[in-house]
Structure 1
């Protein structure tokens, strides 16, 4: 643990007490949670930072969209608007957040909305009579109680190995994992061995009723702009540079390096709001931009369409885990 985090450890103890009391109040029904008759699926994590929530929401949208009328509800992090907002595909990312806009662009038939108040947001969504509501990043929002919780934890950054804020990156104690119906270890190596899976299972120790699955990020072989698609293998440092504004671009960089692609990299904070000056500097660079799909949502309307490309990703399960995972999802929905 870095020296600064050692100094912050006493504050982690205090944070543990505060969050623990809050969870106990909800667990003992002293503070009330709202439950729902329709299926509500919550996707979240215990760690701060990227664990792959957006790819998981997109996995669920793809899995369920042919059979159900779907709605998603996100906070809309760093958006300029307030309260409940429906997301349309042509709205600016600054109004609704980059991830909800990404959901709407990829799944236009879904009802996509943002509201920091999940209870109010669900009430608004029920007017549209969805069959299923997907809650994005709602694991700690105890005012609402989803019928089914998917907890994500990143390979190499397992919640069982972390400390609470500010000494670590946990939003609440690892005991919060007990609320999950299924735990997914995300961003695994695509060739993760059965022995390594067993080792991680031994560390997480899921309850008998909890499913535990392993997934990895599948990168596309094609980069995409508004008007063009190109093979990823054609990307070179002489023509492209990399721009990211995500929590941890390490996985992305490692993937590009595995394809022998090494680009000059401009790194910005997660969900970064690009200033006019930064946009001008990007425009003035003679090279094309390669970025993530989330960053593309914030940049696509502010840069020339021929200058910026993104690399799509999706969640894939290891060891045929999608069979058991999908069954748990459908079993929950069909019981409602």
Structure 2
């Protein structure tokens, strides 16, 4: 029992360290102070080497094509840029015409290998197996596969009757011939260099490889709060939580955790007590991990749709495979 208590204490300490590192990264990449600016400049040589390696990998990779259209929704920076809601919007737009699967790695899931998370309206795995993002897709009615090996995932989807595949965050799979959608970051990075000097995980020049870069107005988003209560606390574990700042006016406080954080019931109960809150306001990505905790929750729903221009770009690509789309 004592060993277990010590382990829990070490775990809490580790979570605090991760949280501080997360805050430092946000500051370093987006709003650096004088020291962070100097650090970024000092690391430029490493970034140049990293960029060269990525460029050589891209140029030396031969592409393979599959028998069905494949769309990738990605970005060039670390962290979130709204890939999940856009994948849902694309699925909802085109799945009525073509049987569609969303395939993703399933980052931070407690499993390895390929799993069919949801198929034909049936959720087949729990959130620990699927990961939080895959479960968000599943509860929104999508066919979902998680697989570190995207090629295996695509082949499995085809075996299940897929006529269209949407890849979540697979820009790095240079060998797959796909329609590349690249999202720009919601916040402007302080540096245009790649990691470790800047936030770019691929050189900024790689935007030239995009088939489509959504502009203002191409992605239409509207948020809604379900079970709005008087004294809500915003609690979230997503990348770039500042994207939710507009909702702080509805809350009496906020607690931000590192992306994909695994919540415990105790830490959420402690937040409720700390603020004397009537509920915790959480995103869908957080909700799927804590819905069984029996605590008062308010859910932030982001409804996303795409412009006619966006639809036309995708439809033109799909007509290369299906003349009647």
1: CA distance between counterparts of 2:313 and 2:207?
17
Report the Cα distance in structure 2 between the residues aligned to 1:34 and 1:284, rounded to whole angstroms: 55
Among 101, 110, 113, the residue aligned to 2:145: 113
1:145, 1:283 → 2: CA distance? 48
2:184 corresponds to 1:153: yes
Relative to the length of structure 1, the TM-score reads: 0.77
Deviation at residue 280 of structure 1 after TM alignment: 5.3
For residues 256 and 180 of structure 1, the distance between their equivalents in structure 2, rounded to whole angstroms, comes to 32
- Evaluate the alpha carbon distance shift between residue 56 and residue 169 of structure 1 in structure 2; reply closer, same or farther with a 3 A threshold: same
What runs of 5+ residues in structure 2 fail to find an aligned partner? Answer: 1-31
Structure with the larger helix share: 2
Residues 189-212 of structure 1 show CA distances to partners (whole Å, capped at 9, x for unaligned) of: xxxxxxxxxxxxxxxxxxxxxxxx
How far does residue 7 in structure 1 lie from its aligned partner after superposition? 2.1
CA-to-aligned-CA distance 1:179-233 (integer Å, 9 cap, x gap): 2110024xx6xxxxxxxxxxxxxxxxxxxxxxxx64353212xx23xxxxx3x5x
> What's the C-alpha RMSD, in Å, of the aligned pairs?
2.2
1:141 aligns with 2:126: no
Among 286, 291, 295, the alignment partner of 2:286 is 295
SS in 2 for 1:329: helix
How many residues are aligned here? Answer: 280
Alignment deviations for residues 62-117 of structure 1 (CA, whole Å, 9 cap, x no partner): 1112211111101100001101011143633221111111111111xx32110011
Residue 10 (str. 1) matches residue 45 (str. 2): yes
Query: Which structure 2 residues correspond to residues 25-44 of structure 1 after superposition, within 5 A?
Result: 25-26=60-61, 29=62, 33-44=63-74
Provide the C-alpha distance between the structure 2 equivalents of 1:308 and 1:241, rounded to a whole number of angstroms: 10
In 2, Cα distance between equivalents of 1:130 and 1:307: 39
Indicate yes or no: 2:222 matched with 1:218. yes
> What is the match of residue 130 of structure 2?
96
Q: Find out whether 1:130 has 2:162 as its counterpart.
A: yes
Alignment of 1:266-285 (within 5 A): 266-275=255-264, 277-279=266-268, 281=270
